[in-house]
C-alpha cells in the first residue's frame, strides 16, 4: 500500500486502484479498508478510481496507534481532507460505513470542494444512550468469552493483540464523553451539506436508533434515505448485492 505522512506525523496507508470517477471508501470501528470494504472495492474499481485508506491508527496506517479523543470523528474527516488535498483526484464520492459514515458526512459539510456525493450506512449522527450502554457492555475486555470470540479474532487479525483492549476501551470512553457533552457527532453540521447524500441503514440495526437516522436524514437538504430489509449494522456483509445496487444507482444519478 502507498503511504502518506501528514505534517503532524500521522501515517495514512491507502489502496489506490482502478480508473474512472474517483471514490473514497471509509471503513468502520476496528476495521480496515480491506476487512470492511474489500468486496465493495473490488466491485467498484472496474469503472472507478477507488481510494480506500486505513484510517489513522488502524491497520497499516501506523504509527501512531489508534486513539479516541472525543473529536476523533472530525479528526478522521480532517485526515481525509489532507489525503485528498495531497492526491488531488478531483471531487470524490465518499462511501462510508459506521464510524467512517459519520466522518464522511463531516467531510462533506466542512470541505464541500472535495466531495460531490456521499453514501453513508450504519449511521445515526449522534451517540445515543443506547450506544453508550452497548459499549459499556464490552468492558472489561479481559472477560470476553465465546460470544465475542469472532470479533476478538477479527480485531487481532486486523490490528494486533496489543490493540484489542486499547481500541475497545478507547471507543467506549469516547462514546461516553460525546454523549455527556450532548451526543452530537455530525447531526449539527449536517445542515451545511449541499452535495447529494444517500443514507442507508439496516432494518435490524440495534444501536443506531431509527428515530436518530430519520432525524439525520431530515437534517440534510439533499438527502435520500433507504432502509434495507434483513440486515443489521454491516449491510456490506448482510446484503452486499443490495448495497452495491443502491450505490450504483446513486452514482448513476450524479452522471
The confidence score (pLDDT) of residue 245 equals: 98
DSSP state of 23: E
| Predicted local distance difference test score (pLDDT) of residue 96 | 98
Q: Considering the domain boundaries, does residue 155 fall inside one?
A: no
Q: Report yes or no on 138 lying in a domain.
A: no
Q: Note the pLDDT of residue 154.
A: 96
215 in a structural domain: yes
* Residue 135 belongs to a domain: no
Residue range 27-75, pLDDT digits in tens: 999 999 999 999 999 999 999 999 999 999 999 999 899 999 999 999 9
Q: What is the mean pLDDT of the chain?
A: 96
The predicted model gives 142-159 an average pLDDT of 96
CA–CA separation, 80 and 103 (whole Å): 9
* Domain presence at residue 79: yes
pTM as predicted: 0.97
Q: What is the pLDDT of residue 58?
A: 98
Q: How many CB atoms lie within 10 A of CB 55?
A: 27
pLDDT digit string, tens, across residues 65-81: 999 999 999 999 999 99
pLDDT attached to residue 9: 79
Interhelix angle 129-136/164-180, rounded to 10 degrees, is: 150
Is residue 153 included in any domain, yes or no?
A: no
Is the pLDDT at 255 greater than 90, yes or no?
A: no
Sign of CA dihedral 44, 61, 77, 235: positive
Residue 7 has a pLDDT of: 78
Specify if 159 maps to a domain. Answer: no
Is 22 inside any structural domain? yes
Average pLDDT over residues 249-253: 97
User: What is the structure's pLDDT at 5?
Assistant: 87
If pLDDT is split at 50, 70 and 90, which confidence band does 207 have?
confident
Q: Number of folded domains in the chain?
A: 1
> What is the average per-residue pLDDT within 91-110?
98
CATH number at 37 reads 3.40.50.1820
Picking from 172, 156, 193, 173, the residue whose alpha carbon sits closest to that of residue 77 is: 193
Asked if residue 143 has pLDDT above 90, the reply is: yes
Q: The domain containing residue 201 runs over which residues?
A: 3-126+184-250
> Is residue 187 a contact partner of residue 213, using CB atoms and an 8 Å limit?
no
The pLDDT of 198-223, averaged and rounded, is: 96
In the chain, % of residues over pLDDT 70 = 100
Amino acid at each position: 500500500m502507498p503511504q502518506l505522512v501528514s505534517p503532524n506525523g500521522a501515517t495514512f496507508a491507502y489502496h489506490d486502484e482502478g480508473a474512472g470517477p474517483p471514490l473514497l471508501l471509509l471503513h468502520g470501528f476496528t476495521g480496515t479498508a480491506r476487512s470492511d470494504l474489500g468486496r465493495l472495492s473490488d466491485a467498484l474499481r472496474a469503472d472507478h478510481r477507488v481510494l480506500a485508506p486505513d484510517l489513522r491508527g488502524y491497520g497499516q496506517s501506523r504509527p501512531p496507534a489508534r486513539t479516541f479523543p472525543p473529536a476523533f470523528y472530525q479528526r478522521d474527516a480532517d485526515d481525509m481532507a489532507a489525503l485528498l488535498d495531497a492526491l488531488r483526484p478531483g471531487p470524490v464520492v465518499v462511501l462510508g460505513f459506521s464510524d467512517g459514515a459519520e466522518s464522511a458526512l463531516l467531510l462533506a459539510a466542512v470541505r464541500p470542494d472535495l466531495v460531490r456525493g456521499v453514501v453513508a450506512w450504519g449511521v445515526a449522527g449522534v451517540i445515543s444512550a443506547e450506544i453508550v450502554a452497548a459499549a459499556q457492555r464490552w468492558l472489561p475486555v479481559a472477560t470476553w468469552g465465546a460470544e465475542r470470540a469472532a470479533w476478538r479474532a477479527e480485531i487481532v487479525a486486523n490490528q494486533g493483540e496489543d490493540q484489542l483492549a486499547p481500541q475497545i476501551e478507547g471507543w467506549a470512553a469516547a462514546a461516553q464523553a460525546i454523549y455527556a457533552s450532548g451526543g452530537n457527532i455530525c447531526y449539527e453540521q449536517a445542515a451545511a451539506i449541499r452535495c447529494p447524500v444517500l443514507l442507508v441503514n439496516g432494518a435490524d440495526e440495534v444501536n443506531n436508533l431509527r428515530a436518530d437516522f430519520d432525524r439525520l436524514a431530515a437534517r440534510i437538504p439533499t438527502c435520500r434515505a433507504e432502509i434495507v430489509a434483513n440486515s443489521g449494522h454491516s449491510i456490506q456483509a448482510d446484503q452486499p448485492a443490495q448495497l452495491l445496487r443502491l450505490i450504483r444507482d446513486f452514482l448513476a444519478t450524479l452522471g
